[in-house]
Amino acid sequence: MKKTLPENFGKICHKVNQYIKKIFSKRKTVTFLLCLTIGLIFSPLGTTARWTVSGTTATAYKTSWIGNSFGGGKYWVQNNIEAMYVAPNGTVYTNSIWDEAGREAGIYKDGNIIGLAEDTHGWSRSGGKAVTANNKYVYLAINQGSIGKTDKDYPPDGTTWYCVRRYDLSGKTAPFAGGRGWDKSMLITSNKSEVTGLATAGKELYVSSSAANRIRVYSTETMKELRNFTVAKPGAITVDKQGNLWIIQSKNGGNPAKILHYSPNGKLLPQQITNLVEPTAITVDRQGKLLVAENGPLQQILIYNITGKPAQVGTFGTKGGIYAGNPGEVQDLKLYGITGVGTDGAGNIYINSNGFNKSGTDLRKFSPSGKQIWQLLGLLFVDNADADPQTDGVDVFTKQEHFVIDYSQPTGKQWTYKNYTVNPFKYPQDPRLHTSPDATFVRRIQGKPFLFLKNMYGSFLQIYRFDSTKDSKIAIPSGMFVGTHGEGKKSIAGNWPPHQPDKGEWIWRDRNGNGAFDNDEYDISEDYPYFGGWWVDSKGDVWKTLRTQDGIGIRHYPLQGLDEHGNPIYSYSSMQKQKTPSIFTDIRRIEYIPESDTMYLSGFTVDHPAIGDDTGVVGSEIVRFDNWSQGNPTPRWRIVVPHDTTGKREVSTAAMSVAGDYVFAVTFKTAEVYVYNAATGAQVQQLKPGPEVAGESGWIDIPYGIRAFRRSNGEYVVFVEEDWKGKVIMYRLMKSSLANL
């Protein structure tokens, strides 16, 4: 709900939103009412806002962003397109299982956002894996769960409807007689298996259900079932010019994937396409050729003549995709993680790449000759960025992407998507393919770049190296810290990683350089299981805080050098335990600056205790200690940060970051950045999302949702997680503005 609505209506919306949040705790829509009358100064780099903080006029800053083609408001590219359909006029209809701000089903044309299919989000409702359209309606796969007692039409408790929902071409729901759901626009196809493919031909709608091994056929007008037939593991569907079906059959037991050919009445025809690794999408172009998205190592669109026996007659895209040439380097024809392919009436080709393990949306339109016409990006979700200290903030990394920043360009245009750093074919055990890290520390050790990634719960720290002689763009799995499980179980549930110890905690190092978890590569220990935070200092030392009450809650892992493959070496035998300062009752974040021997700690204190078990936040205070290594630390200052005093968690601080002469902290629900003078602890600035991003942000969901960096010209760049509209907000505090702080 937007707070920019008239006040009386806003109060009503607030009450409704509170009710929704009570039912669905993941709703995170947060917006800010920006008072532009405070003063706006326009420059070629964007709009500079001035804010009043603690009775004094704060200094200028600029708001920008990275990772999404649009800044927010009505315009943002959705997360992780799972399926798409391209109309003859070039309108692109898409479907995602989840988009934080509610664009599960986007509508795009000519490189612009046209709209979305309404009401796909919340109330236990989400998108799905299929979409199609004809000249009148859009048909969207959705999932509808129960919401408890209601007088509306929803599933009973414990039941999920797997539906096809009908919309008009503008994205408004199109009810029909016998339709289900609160507005009668849903066709329930199953209570057990999701829709895996959709296609229309004439007045018929074809629906795949892979788990049920069925194709069901419905009237596009009445939505009544006309017939159904058996197909093993059916996925995406397309219809050729003769009205016959081509259906992707996903891997079935030990049998490889293939494409089957059926008549409209369900007769299996003899033509089929085999020798495929992972077909994910399919379409027929205006010439009647079949286009198949091959998501295996080829990373290409395979083109078949299907007038007789199917014969491959061409490909589209670079063989090997993004891993060809310089592996990981983004280029127009290098595809990666293909989830959608379509063509329009003019023969243009549309392809969506998601990367691997939900890396984000990369939607491109090409001319028939292969020239890229436009590209739309929505790359970041529950993610944050950090700058390479050796390139003065020009190179910026998120957990899977590498961006290059040109600070002279206009707001929102400074970033270029340069490299995708995951290679699932060469490094299938890459932890990013099996876990969900969400924030990055970029460090240089002996001049070489490394990525350190954390997750939302602080239970691990992943390490990646780069090999400039071989995989200069790919981040190679190098090491990993994992904590002790609180119930004495394996630290990570399931079958990954191989050879994982049965209990306790471990440090993995890729001792043979193959990027895989081998049996003799684990260092094993056991410790208190509840984490406060992680830190990697500028020397490459790793620090960890434990929420222990025994007074010894700091762990220091000094870097022991690099091994022959370039992996950082850490061990439990060299680990040092350090005392928690007695002012803390529950220690959380830690940032140590070795150049000045300065330690910054945060947590809940004796003076400002937690209300309940307030997990995931900074705590109530940030404290600076000088001369840390000399022992017996005495606070230089203590800052009481916004924190919960009621048990309702309406106010709290999610993350902190120290850079240069300042300490930056961001609040959980309002995403406001508080800036403190590192020498005195005095607050000197407060940052809020500016009009460049429509004055809005989602909640800060991760413990490292803010990273700050001081450039050589004195400018501070501050990255803040913004998962609502799929980007990272980038604040710039100018050198001239900071001179008097």
At 97-109, the pLDDT tens digits run: 999 999 999 999 9
Cβ neighbour number for residue 292 with a 10 Å cutoff? 27
Q: What is the mean pLDDT of residues 463-482?
A: 91
494-523: b (≥16 Cβ within 10 Å) or e: eeebeebbeebbbbbbbbeeebbbeeebbb
Given the structure tokens 């989602």, which residue do they identify?
A: 698
Per-residue pLDDT band for 738 (boundaries 50, 70, 90) equals: low
Q: What is the mean pLDDT of residues 638-657?
A: 95
Nearest to 339, CA basis, from 315, 363, 322? 363
pLDDT at 741 over 90: no
pLDDT at 261 over 50: yes
Q: DSSP character for 267?
A: P
**Residue 177 burial (10 A CB sphere; 0-12, 13-18, 19+):** exposed
pLDDT at 161: 97
* For the ranges 44-58, 451-465, 568-582, the one whose mean pLDDT is highest: 568-582
Residue 353 β-bridge partners: 338, 362
How do residues 523-545 score in pLDDT, each as one tens digit?
A: 999 999 999 999 999 999 999 99
Angle in degrees, CA 619, 624, 628, rounded to 5 = 120
Contact 198, 132 (CB under 8 A): yes
Angle in degrees, CA 503, 464, 505, rounded to 5 = 10
Q: Is 727 helix (H, G, I), strand (E, B) or coil?
A: strand
pTM (2 d.p.): 0.91
Q: Which carries the bigger pLDDT value, residue 313 or residue 16?
A: 313
pLDDT at 566: 97
Contact 587, 601 (CB under 8 A): yes
Edge-to-edge order in the sheet of strand 372-378? 338-343, 349-353, 361-366, 372-378
Cβ neighbour number for residue 409 with a 10 Å cutoff? 14
pLDDT at 740: 54
Q: What is the mean pLDDT of residues 575-585?
A: 96
Contact 585, 604 (CB under 8 A): yes
Contact 640, 621 (CB under 8 A): yes
Contact 719, 384 (CB under 8 A): yes
pLDDT at 250: 86
Which whole-number Å values give the CA distances from 168 to 108, 189, 438, 709, in the listed order?
A: 15, 20, 37, 48
Sequence-separated (6 or more) residues with CB below 8 Å from residue 261: 244, 245, 246, 247, 268, 269, 270, 271, 272
How do residues 360-406 score in pLDDT, each as one tens digit?
A: 999 999 999 999 999 999 999 999 999 999 999 999 999 999 999 99
Per-residue pLDDT band for 500 (boundaries 50, 70, 90) equals: very high
Nearest to 121, CA basis, from 193, 209, 28? 28
Per-residue pLDDT band for 409 (boundaries 50, 70, 90) equals: very high
pLDDT at 58 over 60: no
**Residue 342 burial (10 A CB sphere; 0-12, 13-18, 19+):** buried
pLDDT at 59: 55
Kindly state the percentage of the chain with pLDDT values over 90: 86
Cβ neighbour number for residue 147 with a 10 Å cutoff? 17
pLDDT at 33 over 70: no
Q: What is the mean pLDDT of residues 287-301?
A: 98
pLDDT at 735: 57
Sequence-separated (6 or more) residues with CB below 8 Å from residue 416: 403, 404, 405, 406
Residue 83 β-bridge partners: 95
Kindly state the percentage of the chain with pLDDT values over 70: 91
pLDDT at 18 over 90: no
Per-residue pLDDT band for 52 (boundaries 50, 70, 90) equals: very low
Average pLDDT, whole number, for the chain?
Answer: 91
pLDDT at 458: 77
pLDDT at 550: 86
What is the rounded CA–CA span in Å between residue 470 and residue 340? 30
Q: What is the mean pLDDT of residues 274-290?
A: 97
Angle in degrees, CA 221, 227, 228, rounded to 5 = 120
How do residues 133-187 score in pLDDT, each as one tens digit?
A: 999 999 999 999 999 989 999 999 999 999 999 999 999 999 999 999 999 999 9
How do residues 694-725 score in pLDDT, each as one tens digit?
A: 999 999 999 999 999 999 999 999 999 999 99
